[in-house]
Structure 1
Amino acid sequence: MLLTGEEDEIEKVIGSDLKSGSSIISGKCLAKLTAVGNDSYADKLTQKAKEVKHKKTDMIRAIEGIIKFTGIIIIPIGITLFSQSLFLNHKTFSDSIVSTVGALIGMIPEGLYLLVTVALAISATKLARKKVLLHDMKSIESLARVNILCVDKTGTITANKMTVTDLILPQQASQKDLIANQAIFSKYINTISDSNITMLALREYFKSKEKFQNTETTPFSSKVKYSQIKTENSTYRLGAPDILLDQAALEANQNQLTQ
């Protein structure tokens, strides 16, 4: 399922709900569309994932802790400085206020926010030169704590399309066998009802529109890893070689392809 990434099969019955991103692994299905656009389940998940969570980073919390501590401790210090200036140094009330305020202003770490902003701006500029797009400024701090970065290649950087380049038969097969197998293969892909990207690529490669007549078809299932067509005289299967071939034939084909 594309929505969750789970590979477990979930059997559906008449009336069951299908979420966005579901795919049929066997059989056919008729579905009624009940929600589109912003009302669909997948879009709601996407919108929720895009919500900006305003969470303070460790550095910001540390700076705010320093400022709070300074703001609290500055009160008794200010009272002490004012009392010393007024009662011990015998200055006037106005002069005591001015000297106390002048001393306290220098204790406020107002430059911390400026230094942090400048550092983050410089880091963002360096990353932008390397074609790195930042989601927010806080991600720079997170990246600074990273020792090992593991990247998973996903479908976002690949095309959801397959292409058939060649039809390879066993080495002992003749040109007559090749033509006969191509004819059978063309009929097979036009008869079976599968419409996955593998089958679409095969239909694009084999242009013939001929079909088998009077057949019993079994669509592809990921459980058995093959599809099947039964005719009056023969049975054909298309699927994973490790399922359809015996060990000797599988090794022979592998050796042929690696030569």
Structure 2
Amino acid sequence: MDRLQQAIQKARVERASRQQEPPDRTAPEPQPIPIQKDEVWSSLPEIELDQRTAARQRLISYSGGTEAAPYDMLRTKVLQQVTANGWRRVALTSPYSDSGKSTSTANLAFSLGRQAELRTVVLDFDLRRMGLAKILKQTGQYNMADVIQGTVPFHEHAVRHGENVIFGLNHAPTRNPSEVLQGRQVIELLEQIETVYQPDVILFDTPPLMSSDDSHGFLKNVDCALLLVVAEKTTLDRIDLAERQLAELTSVMGIVLNKCRYSSGAFGYEYGY
């Protein structure tokens, strides 16, 4: 990663020098420093899950097939709206905790990952918890707050699944997550990730809307959000309130009804066909 760091530092120095000097109207436009995207992605450590762990953690879209149909349908709907609106940053949130938000984020990521031409970055910004790390059975020393605050570079913290999915996980809860998520450093980190890794989609696992103000300061930085609610548990008035709060912060892509009970053939027949 030394060459990558040198390129980023060189770009910063050149940008600072241009800001101090009056613009030269006769000079040619500066060309961006080329960064090999494939090399940057492949340099990250790779994680693998065995089928037993994936099944135990309800990662039904990990290997695809009939059981993955609901998340594959969600993937297609997300990609249609992302493409139609020119969006890239997609947050997943919920009115309250225990809505299956982190599990759904992981499943959507694996579903996106099975489309080889797409590159997806998944960031766990629910800084009070270690949701995605626990689901993926990953351990480590740092969390995304350390990356946001510049203590740890993203490329030293991130892990890769396959060739086209990157995860940024939390391995410990964060003190003062609301302040971390509302700082200027979040914006700078996201801009850096988009410049260096050039993802097609960035998924954010964000905190529940009504449990704290963590998401309220951050969601202005995303293009849209999915609201996850629980069948037979989340009441209509809470859904309505959460949707109105979310609409004040970003574009609402849609509402996902999670933990539904349906007959075994509800998806399998058409999907098998």
Q: Structures share a fold, TM > 0.5?
A: no
Category of TM-score, reference length = shorter chain: under 0.3
| TM-score of the pair, normalised by structure 2 | 0.21
Give the structure with the higher percent strand. Answer: 2
Greater relative contact order, per chain length (Cα 8 Å cut-off, separation 6+): 2
Pair member with larger Rg: 1
TM-score normalised by the chain length of structure 1:
0.21
